[in-house]
A and B are shown apart, each in its own frame.
Chain A
Amino acid sequence: MATVIAIILSAVLTNNFITKQTLGICPFLGVSKKTSSAVGMGVAVTIVMTLATAVTYPIYEYVMVPLNFAFLEIIVFIFIIASLVQMLEMIIRKVSPALYNAMGVYLPLITTNCAVLGVCELVIGDMSDLIGGAAMNFGWAVLYAFFAGLGFTLIMIIMSGMREKLNNIKVAKYLNGFPISMVTASFICMAFMVFTYIA
């Protein structure tokens, strides 16, 4: 139970993917103009991160390491993620066109999202610091990926809310666009630095 709490706190608050580990910044800056699209992207990333970890972790741990081709991890992981995204897109389109309209457009963007490859690489490495000293296993890995995705979604929603407000304000010419978004993001990071001390 302690490990579960440690993982949740770490993944969502203290070691949040965006504010602490700076992963998944491209969608964070690119798709956070409106809250609705931020939620769609966040949910899509969460699903892909969880599924990707659930597939790559056992393959790495129980196939690649015993058979001595762990050095091919990057190629294997990126292929798994790409095909997973492709498959997910097809399934969603077939099963629920409404869901596809809401979320499907974000799926192709996810293949090159560092948050997904990042979490797959993270859980196979040494991360005892991040999850309260417990030994990594399949369950913790998937749980961590899921909550890291939720943490990502949380920041996306906060950011989109702030950017919607920013639209009503006149910003200096050269600050407009990316610079002002990054300064906004910096304030979110500062706010989240508070959580560093709870773990």
Chain B
Amino acid sequence: MTAKEFFKSTAFKCIAVLLSIVLICGILLTLCNALFFVTDEERTARAVAKVFPGEEVTYTQDEVAAKYADTASYSVSQAFTMTGSRKGQYLLNVTGKGGYSSGTVTCWILIEAVSGDTTNPGSFTGIEKVVVTANTNQSFINYIGEDDIQAVIDKQENNGFTNYDTSGIKTGATFSLGAIANAMNGAKTYTESVYCGLVQPFDGYLYTDLINRNATTVEVSGTDVTYHVTTGSNIEPSGFVIDITVGADGKISSYTIITNGSTGQSYSDLMADIVTLVTGKSQEELESLLTSNDIATGATHSNELCVHAALFAVANYTTALADYS
């Protein structure tokens, strides 16, 4: 077949037509894409607009401060400073961890706070609004109503939000609400650290995620460091108060549970013999204890809190010795 014949054949016509249609469509779509492309800022603006239905809001988007953005109990993915009529408020997109079957709940949290810096610190006023946008594995999250979230907002214990109390909030989705409470506490910590200029107690310490940093104190006598630890919440149990002493060898020399924060007698009965398990242990031993079966006794969350408290004490021995003597 000569070149001339080829150009007159059906095969050539087929290829030419198909190619030109593909080309025209491709060019058309590229142009339209340039015209209609939805930028990330626009998507963010849409998401923010959904938090404030029927209201025009202005804001500036802030860089998320990496130091406070990701911990074991929460992570902050976006942060905004509201301006105009909502001046003095901050909007955070926070994912609370530790929900039902290790899932998470993502929500927008609107916070009111007085801004400040390290020399002239501001303060955290409260949470205005929580809008849940997404979750993973939270099969029962529909049980949580706005009034339940409001109840968590209104209830502050030991300087933090908690989803559990014996008289109060019963939703049928305790774990999911726990993740929301984690997100709220995370939002509070983040706002205080970044916007209010409050230096959190134990800033830069290890294993602080499950520790209530505001209610915990440290004393040093000689080479012994004694911690009076109040824990945060680990889904259900919260507010353990534990006295821990770490000796010069960096191991736990005494460990006393003063208040048991388990959600009821049945759970505190199920707990492992924590005192025996942790006494005389070093940081590595405690870390392996955290993943071992020894603490899977039916009150695992309580046990985890206690081991975390011990880890907090051991891991920060040198820092605390320097800071508090």
By a CB distance below 8 angstroms, the chain A residues around B104 are 133
**What's the tally of chain B residues with a CB closer than 8 Å to chain A?**
13
By a CB distance below 8 angstroms, the chain A residues around B102 are 133
Q: Within the complex, which residue of B26, B33, B136 is in contact with A129, where a contact is CB–CB below 8 Å?
A: B136
Q: Within the complex, which residue of B25, B30, B33, B137 is in contact with A132, where a contact is CB–CB below 8 Å?
A: B137
CB of A72 closer than 8 Å to a CB of B = yes
The verdict on A71 contacting B29 (CB below 8 Å), with A133-B102, A133-B103 known, is yes
Contact across chains for A133 and B137 when beta carbons are under 8 A apart: yes
By a CB distance below 8 angstroms, the chain A residues around B103 are 133
Residue interface bits A107-147, CB-to-B below 8 A is 1, else 0: 00000000000000000000011001100000000000000
CB of A199 closer than 8 Å to a CB of B = yes
CB distance from A130 to the nearest CB of B (A): 10
By a CB distance below 8 angstroms, the chain B residues around A71 are 29, 33, 37
A residues 120-176 with Cβ under 8 Å of B?
128-129, 132-133
CB of B297 closer than 8 Å to a CB of A = no
Residue interface bits B9-27, CB-to-A below 8 A is 1, else 0: 0000000000000100110
CB of B139 closer than 8 Å to a CB of A = yes
Q: Within the complex, which residue of B29, B136, B137, B139 is in contact with A72, where a contact is CB–CB below 8 Å?
A: B29
B residues 211-239 with Cβ under 8 Å of A?
none
How many contacts A-B (CB < 8 Å)?
A: 22
Task: Tell me what chain A mostly uses at the interface: helix, strand, loop, or mixed.
Answer: loop
By a CB distance below 8 angstroms, the chain B residues around A67 are none
CB distance from A25 to the nearest CB of B (A): 27
By a CB distance below 8 angstroms, the chain B residues around A133 are 102-104, 136-137
CB distance from B47 to the nearest CB of A (A): 14
By a CB distance below 8 angstroms, the chain B residues around A199 are 137, 139
Q: Which residue of B lies closest to A75 (CB)?
A: B25
By a CB distance below 8 angstroms, the chain A residues around B30 are 69
CB distance from B286 to the nearest CB of A (A): 25
By a CB distance below 8 angstroms, the chain A residues around B25 are 75
A101 to B180, CA, bound (A): 57
A residues 38-81 with Cβ under 8 Å of B?
69, 71-72, 75
By a CB distance below 8 angstroms, the chain B residues around A69 are 30
Q: Which residue of A lies closest to B32 (CB)?
A: A71
By a CB distance below 8 angstroms, the chain A residues around B22 are 75
By a CB distance below 8 angstroms, the chain B residues around A75 are 22, 25-26, 29
Q: Which residue of B lies closest to A68 (CB)?
A: B33
A197 to B101, CA, bound (A): 13
Residue interface bits B25-58, CB-to-A below 8 A is 1, else 0: 1100110010001000000000000000000000
By a CB distance below 8 angstroms, the chain B residues around A197 are 139
B residues 88-124 with Cβ under 8 Å of A?
102-104
Residue interface bits A72-109, CB-to-B below 8 A is 1, else 0: 10010000000000000000000000000000000000
By a CB distance below 8 angstroms, the chain B residues around A129 are 136-137
CB distance from B238 to the nearest CB of A (A): 24
Contact across chains for B26 and A128 when beta carbons are under 8 A apart: no
By a CB distance below 8 angstroms, the chain B residues around A132 are 137
Q: Which residue of A lies closest to B103 (CB)?
A: A133
A72 to B25, CA, bound (A): 10
CB distance from B291 to the nearest CB of A (A): 15
CB distance from B105 to the nearest CB of A (A): 12
Q: Which residue of B lies closest to A134 (CB)?
A: B136
CB distance from B134 to the nearest CB of A (A): 9
- Other than the given A71-B33, A133-B136, 16 more pairs (CB < 8 A) read A69-B30, A71-B37, A72-B26, A72-B29, A75-B22, A75-B25, A75-B26, A75-B29, A128-B136, A129-B136, A129-B137, A133-B102, A133-B103, A133-B104, A133-B137, A199-B137
Name the 5 nearest CB pairs between A and B, nearest first: A133-B136, A71-B33, A128-B136, A133-B137, A133-B103
Q: What are 20 A-B interface contacts by the 8 Å CB criterion? A: A69-B30, A71-B29, A71-B33, A72-B26, A72-B29, A75-B22, A75-B25, A75-B26, A75-B29, A128-B136, A129-B136, A129-B137, A132-B137, A133-B102, A133-B103, A133-B104, A133-B136, A133-B137, A197-B139, A199-B139
